[in-house]
Amino acid sequence: MRGLLVLFACFKRPANVQFADGRELDGSFCGAFEVARSLTPLTCLSGGFQTRSAQTLLDNPESDLRNIGNVRECLTLRGGDESSEKGVEKEIKGLQKEIKSVKKEIKSVEKEIKSVENDIQVVEKEIKSVGQQDPRRHAELREDKEQLRKKEEQLRKKEEQLRKKEEQLRQLLLFREGSLQKSPLSGASIAWTESDAGLDRVGLCNDKKYFRVDTSYLMVIGDGNSRQERLLYCREAFLKQHTFLRERVLDRGALGWIMGSPGTGKTTATLSFLLMLDMNEWSVTFIRLNAVADGFCVQVAGSTRRTCVIERITAGKLVETLLREWSNGNRRFVVLDGFLGHQPNHWEAFDACRRWRDIDRSNRRLVVVTSMASRDKIYYHEDKLLQLEEHLVVSWTIDEYLQAVQSDEFYEEVESMLEMDLGLLDLSRLGIKKMQLGRSKEARVRQKHYLAGGSCRHMFEMSAYDVVKFIHQAFRSVPDLELIFRGNIGASSTQLVNRLIATFAIDGEVRWLPASEYISWKLMHEIEAEELKRVFSKYSISNAAVKGCLFEMIFFKEVQRGLRLTYRRSHNRPREARPWKGHSVVFFDPLQGNHSLPRTAVCFRPISELQGGYDALIVDKNAKKAVFVQVTVREKHALKLSFFLDALTALGIPPGRAWKVEIIFLIPNQRMPVFRISPVEDCGALEGYGWKKGEEKKKAKVAFPPLN
Domain boundaries, given as residue ranges, for the chain: 4-185, 193-392, 398-526, 566-704
In three-state secondary structure terms, 638 is strand
Residue 481's pLDDT is what? 62
Q: Closest by alpha carbon to 360, among 15, 40, 76?
A: 76
Query: What is the SS3 assignment for 115?
Result: helix
Name the percent of the chain lying above pLDDT 70: 73
| Helix (H), strand (E) at residue 320 | helix 315-324
Helix, strand or coil, per DSSP, at residue 164: helix
Q: What is the pLDDT of residues 34-45, one digit of tens each?
A: 434 334 333 333
Residue-level pLDDT at 465: 87
CA 479 vs CA 158, 406, 474, 476, 607: distances in Å: 49, 41, 10, 8, 29
d(CA 382, CA 243): 24
Q: Which three-class secondary structure state does DSSP give residue 683? A: coil
Residue 703 CA to residue 701 CA, distance in Å, equals: 7
pLDDT score, position 490: 43
- The band of 16, judged by pLDDT with boundaries at 50, 70 and 90, is very low
Instruction: Calculate mean pLDDT across residues 672-688.
Output: 92
Of 66-80, 88-102, 164-178, 550-564, least confident by mean pLDDT is 66-80
CA distances from 552 to 349, 520, 608, 629, 663 (A): 44, 10, 14, 10, 16
- Whether the pLDDT of residue 415 is over 50: the answer is yes
User: Could you give the CA distance from residue 368 to residue 346 in angstroms, rounded to a whole number?
Assistant: 11
The pLDDT, as a whole number, for residue 595 is: 66
Q: Which residue would you say has higher pLDDT here, 244 or 537?
A: 244
- Give the DSSP H or E segment for 468: helix 464-477
What predicted TM-score, i.e. pTM, was given to this entire model?
0.65
Q: Tell me: pLDDT of 53 over 50.
A: no
* pLDDT above 90 for 638: yes
- 432 φ, ψ (degrees, to nearest 5): -115, 130
User: Is residue 660's pLDDT more than 50?
Assistant: yes
Contact assessment for residue 543 and residue 507, using Cβ atoms and an 8 Å cutoff: no
Do residues 506 and 500 touch, judged by C-beta distance below 8 A? no
Element (H, E) at 364: strand 364-369
User: Within the chain, what is the greatest distance between any pair of CA atoms?
Assistant: 101
**Nearest 5°: CA angle at 566, between 563 and 570?**
150
d(CA 322, CA 311): 13
Q: Which residue has the higher pLDDT, 654 or 492?
A: 654
How far apart are the C-alpha atoms of 494 and 151, rounded to whole Å?
Answer: 50
Neighbouring residues of 231: CB distance < 8 A, sequence distance ≥ 6? 205, 206, 210, 211, 212, 213, 407, 409, 410, 413
Name the pLDDT band for 66 (thresholds 50, 70, 90): very low
Locate all alpha helices (DSSP H) within 179-230, ordered by sequence.
216-219
For 5-9, 359-363, 473-477, which range has the lowest pLDDT when averaged over its residues?
A: 5-9
Phi/psi for 311 (5° steps) reads -65, 135
Task: Name which of 512, 238, 483, 188 is nearest 373 in CA terms.
Answer: 512
Element housing 16 (H / E): strand 16-18
Are 612 and 632 spatial neighbours (Cβ–Cβ below 8 Å)? no
pLDDT at 487: 52
Ranges of beta strands (E only) in 577-666 are 584-588, 602-606, 616-620, 625-631, 636-640, 660-666
Across the range 589-599, mean pLDDT stands at 71
Tens-digit pLDDT profile for residues 424-467: 555 544 444 445 555 788 888 888 888 898 899 999 999 988 98
Separation between Cα atoms, residue 156 and residue 521, nearest integer Å: 56
User: What is the band of 249 on the pLDDT scale with cuts at 50, 70, 90?
Assistant: very high
Asked if the model's pLDDT at residue 48 lies above 50, the reply is no
Does 68 have pLDDT greater than 50? Answer: no
Reply yes or no on whether the pLDDT at 480 is more than 50: yes
How far is it, in rounded angstroms, from Cα 576 to Cα 566? 4
Are 144 and 123 in contact, with CB atoms under 8 Å apart?
yes
Find the range with the poorest average confidence among 11-20, 269-278, 350-359: 11-20
Average pLDDT over residues 535-542: 62
How much is the pLDDT for 70? 39
pLDDT band at 569 (very low <50, low <70, confident <90, very high): confident
User: Which amino acid is located at 149 in the chain?
Assistant: R
Whole-number Å distance between alpha carbons of 43 and 141: 66
- 275-310 pLDDT per residue, tens: 999 998 999 999 999 988 899 999 999 889 999 999
Q: Please choose, from the candidates 547, 562, 557, 585, the residue with its C-alpha nearest in 3D space to the C-alpha of residue 667.
A: 547
Give the residue-averaged pLDDT of 543-554: 77
Using the predicted structure, report yes or no on whether residue 183 has a pLDDT greater than 90.
no
Domain 193-392, CATH: 3.40.50.12060
**pLDDT averaged over the chain?**
77
Of the listed ranges 385-399, 550-564, 571-585, the one predicted with least confidence: 571-585
Determine the residue type at 698.
K
Q: Binning pLDDT at 50, 70 and 90, where does residue 142 land?
A: confident
Amino acid in position 188: A
